[in-house]
Chain A
Amino acid sequence: MADKTLYQKKIRLGDGLLKGSIYAAAALTFTVLLGLMGYLLVRGLPHISWGFLSHTYSETDPQQNGILPMLLNTLYVVGITVLIAGPVGIASAVYLTQYAKQGRFVAIVRFAAEVLSGIPSILFGLFGYTVFCQLLRLGTSLLAGCLTMALCVLPTLIRTTEEALLSVPRLYTQGAMALGAGKLRVILGILLPNAMPGILTALVLTMGRIVGESAALLFTAGMSYGMPRGVFSHAMESGRTLTLHLYQTAREAATPDAMNVAFGTAAVLLILIFLLNRIAWLLGKVLKKGES
């Protein structure tokens, strides 16, 4: 066919349809997501007050409808889980990328991590319950919950840390090796510092994941809403996190304004996760800038 003009004469029907459906899908997704967040915030925010954040809770006393113990339990689980999973995850990633002979074994470990990061967290909950709560006799406790949570987040944490380690230019490690630096020194002095932005981002995103987790903690950390009495003794006590509180209040509707409590909790969760994502983003930006 001999086209006499370069300019398009008509928009082809197929192109138009395709473009239209892509726009429609995007619009639908954004509307649903924004609508969801908007709804949660509209229903939840009015219920958030200083009293809500700083008071205790009771299923029998409607006057006590604060979420302080749940907030503390959530921070507790996040803190302890990261303390357990962080070092283990980083060490495993260093081992897999720097020490393990790249072959069958590493391939199997990677495959396992991939599978584990995809399985429903309730299975981790079941496993944690039988191993930590029963076999190791930790009972329903925050410690059992944290250990279960650590298992739950490790596969993803290892994979993201591995990526951070692999993204460090070989030129740097080579340069250090050529000066006679030993392997451990190169890992501690060059590799880890340079991978730190990626690792920290992974850790913060992991925190977000822990904040949002409920199924793995349901069987293991339990449902107690009592106020924590001490940092160490609390590890052996049962305690419900914000997500479990949301689940429980919405399900039981034990008090007249249970739904308000549930939505208030949901809004707090949303804000926490938003903040964590923001921090991860800022960390990535600030640390990246610092290196050049």
Chain B
Amino acid sequence: MLHKQEAGRQETVKIGMQGVHVYYGAYHALKGVEVAVPEKQVMAWIGPSGCGKSTCLKTINRMNDLVAGTRVTGTVTLDGEDVYDPRTDVTVLRRRAGMVFQKANPFPMSVYENVAYGPKIHGVRRRSQLDGVVEQSLRAAALWEEVKGRLKKPALGLSGGQQQRLCIARALAVQPEVLLMDEPTSALDPVSTLKIEELMHTLRKQYTVILVTHNLQQALRVADQTVFFLSGEVVESGSTKRLFESPRDDRTKRYLSGRFG
């Protein structure tokens, strides 16, 4: 699927959202969202708290399925295939679109077991193969050097920043194509935040990343594209540089200058 970009370049759309509405019971949380996420780029989603960013993110890997009373309409596609098609295998979908949560949530197991959990459930059994995946994933999450001597130690003994990178490693271990990151640094100290931001720069070479953030500077630092959400709607989207330098919508302008949200 091809999509015309502002710069005139043609890029592959990895994830498409057309007319997406989400209802929590009677509450209308998303009101016709349209987003095209280009492949192998980092796209930031910004907007005031409660505007529906997390909700929108969860429609992609169908984590909304787990919330009773949630209804989703419209189309969400991954590589052009409808995520909500009855034939969709949610297991495969979630393997291809990994998620990193706001609060680091390593399992109460060893560092090694945390990373190996995903590959194991997807059928990797051979020890040597698992060892390889674990090391590779931890390296990709820039955590290997810090934990290689304590792979058998409980993951909950790691620092907050390390735990979050462990969660990234855990997500990478199932070889996803997309990473959905919901405010991954909002609970971290500046040094850990910096490490994860640096990580984004390498991740974009291989993965399509959506980064929900309330930190505008972070969006500016790491995102190629930015989407501004407000009250369950997309107000404006475009290249990060363009959106920050010359916002077209007055509400975007006001939000960027810190006048609401």
Q: Report A's interface with B, CB cutoff 8 A.
A: 102, 169, 171-172, 174-182, 185, 189-190, 194, 291-292
7 closest Cβ contacts across the A-B interface?
A: A171-B105, A180-B94, A180-B95, A178-B99, A179-B118, A180-B91, A291-B108
A185 to B105, CA, bound (A): 18
Q: Is the CB of B154 within 8 A of A178?
A: no
A residues within 8 A CB of B244? none
Q: Is the interface of B mostly helix, strand, loop or mixed?
A: helix
A291 to B107, CA, bound (A): 10
Contacts A102-B68, A190-B107, A291-B108; A175 near B95 (Cβ below 8 A): no
> Which of B108, B154, B157, B171 interacts with A179 by CB under 8 Å?
B171
Q: Is the CB of A179 within 8 A of B121?
A: yes
Q: Is the CB of B105 within 8 A of A175?
A: yes
B residues within 8 A CB of A177? 63, 66, 94
B residues within 8 A CB of A190? 107
Q: Smallest CB–CB gap between B13 and chain A, Å?
A: 23
A residues within 8 A CB of B106? 175
Q: Smallest CB–CB gap between A228 and chain B, Å?
A: 43
Q: Is the CB of A180 within 8 A of B68?
A: no
Q: Smallest CB–CB gap between A60 and chain B, Å?
A: 59
Q: Smallest CB–CB gap between A96 and chain B, Å?
A: 15
The listed residue with most B CB atoms (<10 A of its CB), out of A174, A181, A185, A189, is: A181
> Which of B63, B68, B108 interacts with A178 by CB under 8 Å?
B63
Q: Is the interface of A mostly helix, strand, loop or mixed?
A: helix
A169 to B156, CA, bound (A): 14
Q: Smallest CB–CB gap between A106 and chain B, Å?
A: 12
Q: Taking the complex as formed, is B174 at the interface, i.e. its CB lies under 8 A from any CB of chain A?
A: yes
Q: Is the CB of A174 within 8 A of B66?
A: yes
A residues within 8 A CB of B105? 169, 171-172, 174-175
Q: Taking the complex as formed, is B167 at the interface, i.e. its CB lies under 8 A from any CB of chain A?
A: yes
A residues within 8 A CB of B117? 176, 179, 181, 189
Contacts A190-B107, A292-B157; A175 near B101 (Cβ below 8 A): yes
Q: Is the CB of B103 within 8 A of A179?
A: no
Q: Report B's interface with A, CB cutoff 8 A.
A: 61, 63, 66, 68, 90-95, 98-99, 101, 103, 105-108, 117-118, 121-122, 154, 156-157, 167, 170-171, 174
A residues within 8 A CB of B167? 175
Q: Smallest CB–CB gap between A291 and chain B, Å?
A: 4
A residues within 8 A CB of B103? 171
Q: Is the CB of B66 within 8 A of A180?
A: no
Q: Smallest CB–CB gap between A188 and chain B, Å?
A: 11
The listed residue with most A CB atoms (<10 A of its CB), out of B90, B91, B98, is: B91
Contacts A185-B121, A292-B154; A178 near B61 (Cβ below 8 A): yes
Q: Is the CB of B107 within 8 A of A179?
A: no
Q: Is the CB of A174 within 8 A of B156?
A: no
Q: Smallest CB–CB gap between A178 and chain B, Å?
A: 4
Q: Is the CB of A292 within 8 A of B95?
A: no
Contacts A175-B107, A291-B108, A292-B154; A181 near B121 (Cβ below 8 A): yes
A residues within 8 A CB of B98? 178-179
A residues within 8 A CB of B66? 174, 177
Contacts A102-B68, A181-B121, A292-B157; A176 near B107 (Cβ below 8 A): yes
A176 to B171, CA, bound (A): 10
> Which of A172, A174, A181 interacts with B108 by CB under 8 Å?
A172
- Between A and B, 13 residue pairs with Cβ closer than 8 Å are A171-B103, A171-B105, A172-B105, A175-B107, A175-B170, A179-B95, A179-B118, A179-B170, A180-B90, A180-B92, A180-B93, A180-B94, A181-B91
B residues within 8 A CB of A102? 68
B residues within 8 A CB of A180? 90-95, 118, 121-122, 174
Q: Is the CB of A179 within 8 A of B174?
A: yes
Q: Is the CB of B95 within 8 A of A171?
A: no
A119 to B68, CA, bound (A): 34
Instruction: Give B120's nearest chain A residue, CB to CB.
Output: A189
Q: Smallest CB–CB gap between A197 and chain B, Å?
A: 11
Q: Is the CB of A174 within 8 A of B63?
A: yes
Q: Smallest CB–CB gap between B69 and chain A, Å?
A: 10
A182 to B157, CA, bound (A): 27
Instruction: Give A194's nearest chain B residue, CB to CB.
Output: B108
If A176-B107, A179-B121, A179-B174 are given as contacts, then 14 extra A-B residue pairs at C-beta distance below 8 Å, sorted by A number, are A102-B68, A171-B101, A174-B101, A175-B105, A175-B167, A179-B98, A179-B118, A180-B93, A180-B95, A181-B121, A190-B107, A291-B108, A291-B154, A292-B154
A190 to B167, CA, bound (A): 16
Q: Smallest CB–CB gap between A78 and chain B, Å?
A: 31
A176 to B106, CA, bound (A): 10
A residues within 8 A CB of B121? 176, 179-182, 185, 189
A residues within 8 A CB of B108? 172, 194, 291-292
